[in-house]
Structure 1
Amino acid sequence: MASINISTIDFAKLDQFDAGEGYGDEVNKLLNAVCSPGFFYPDFKNAFGTKLVLREVKDAYAASDRYFDQSLETKMKDFRKGQPASSDRGYKFCETNESFEMSSDEMSDGSLSLPEVLAVTESSLNSLHQHCYIAANMLLDCLSNALNIPINEYHRDILPNEWAFPKPPAPGCAIVYGGNFLKLMSNGVLQSPLHRVTQLEDGAGKRFFLSYFLRPEEGAKERLESHL
């Protein structure tokens, strides 16, 4: 399978409160990446609070290892019946993977009830959630500012329709995917390529991934008017 290069964005340069040297260039680089191929690596190495976030991520992976190492019977106690499949709450599983999902609303209002094996890291998980929320909104602010430019400066022809692996990121990076709603709201300027998390090859060992989703509110159904 082919591999693709993904742009790395220096998150520290996107800080709106600084808006110093390199800000404009980095925002343009961000816009280019979300226009095509629709993915990018935010590099947090130089960003404020990075050491704390890396520790929180390490805590989350350790908690995941403990949680998913439990028996299916134990984990099924955290399965929430009667909720839509799209709801981000509790334990879920299918033939190829399993997950434990935490609602942002429940984390924010303090109503989230974690199983004991995860509750020991609740403070760290809440802090990681807040850091992800701040980072995601900063990226949206930058994209909102960048989209006030002519579309033909950033529009590209659609890439060939084939699967490809992104090349591994440098330490201190995450991977960000724009999503279908950004594509809809930008009239197709921002891309939302089909993607999946999978093993590199058959027989690979245990693998965990942390995902954070920033979704629009229920009332956000109409595309905003703009020259795009």
Structure 2
Amino acid sequence: MEVALVTVGDELLAGDTENTNATWLARQLTERGATVARMLTIPDDRALIARWVGDFADSFDAVVVTGGLGDTPDDVTIEAVADAFDRDLEVQPEVRDRVAEKARRYREENPEYYETHDFDLDLDETAALPAGARPIQTEESFNPGCVVENVYVFPGFPGELKVMFDAVADEFGGDAVSASVATSTPEGALRHVLDGVRDRFEVAVGSYPARRGQPGRVKVTGTDPEEVDRAIEWVDEQVADPE
């Protein structure tokens, strides 16, 4: 299963917010055997989001989009995903009901907020999703996420994202497996190992330099566990540190 990740937000491109969502999602998908084939960060630009979501939806098994869900003018991800599939926005009654109930509970639990803020929530706007979308609603999220064909749309707040992803995590998977070998060999001296493992085995290979007191490592990935085992054994022999 090949997956493309799209993280949305001007704040990510400006460096105001660290893009931890991309790293977390990539790890979750890889652990489930999927292959993250693309990773893209784009601004809160409706036309640009629609273009890339549409292109990726045609090219990969699944697309995961995170960020830009909300009720402020720069939250345009839902509209952009609808544009990507040439769909209108619609309000599903059960989605609106859940949003309304969550708003009611929040009002009861936080009366002081409403006494000091002019808060007028448009339930129809908040609940609107691309026509035919499968909604994803959790207790942690106010705005719903959704699935449109092979595109999964999640919020940008990490806590909300993680819970919403967990609700559909079983829909992601694949045959990819990985193994790593730790080594103190400098990355620049590993070329013969990287070239050699590619020539000998049907696997992908990458090297990662030492950092924060941890050794470097060579990572091997493939769809045949036995082939990965053979490749990692060969790599281990090549990079083993002398006694």
Larger Cα-atom Rg:
2
What's the TM-score once normalised by structure 1's chain length? 0.23
Structure ranking higher in helix proportion: 2
**TM-score, with structure 2 as normaliser:** 0.22
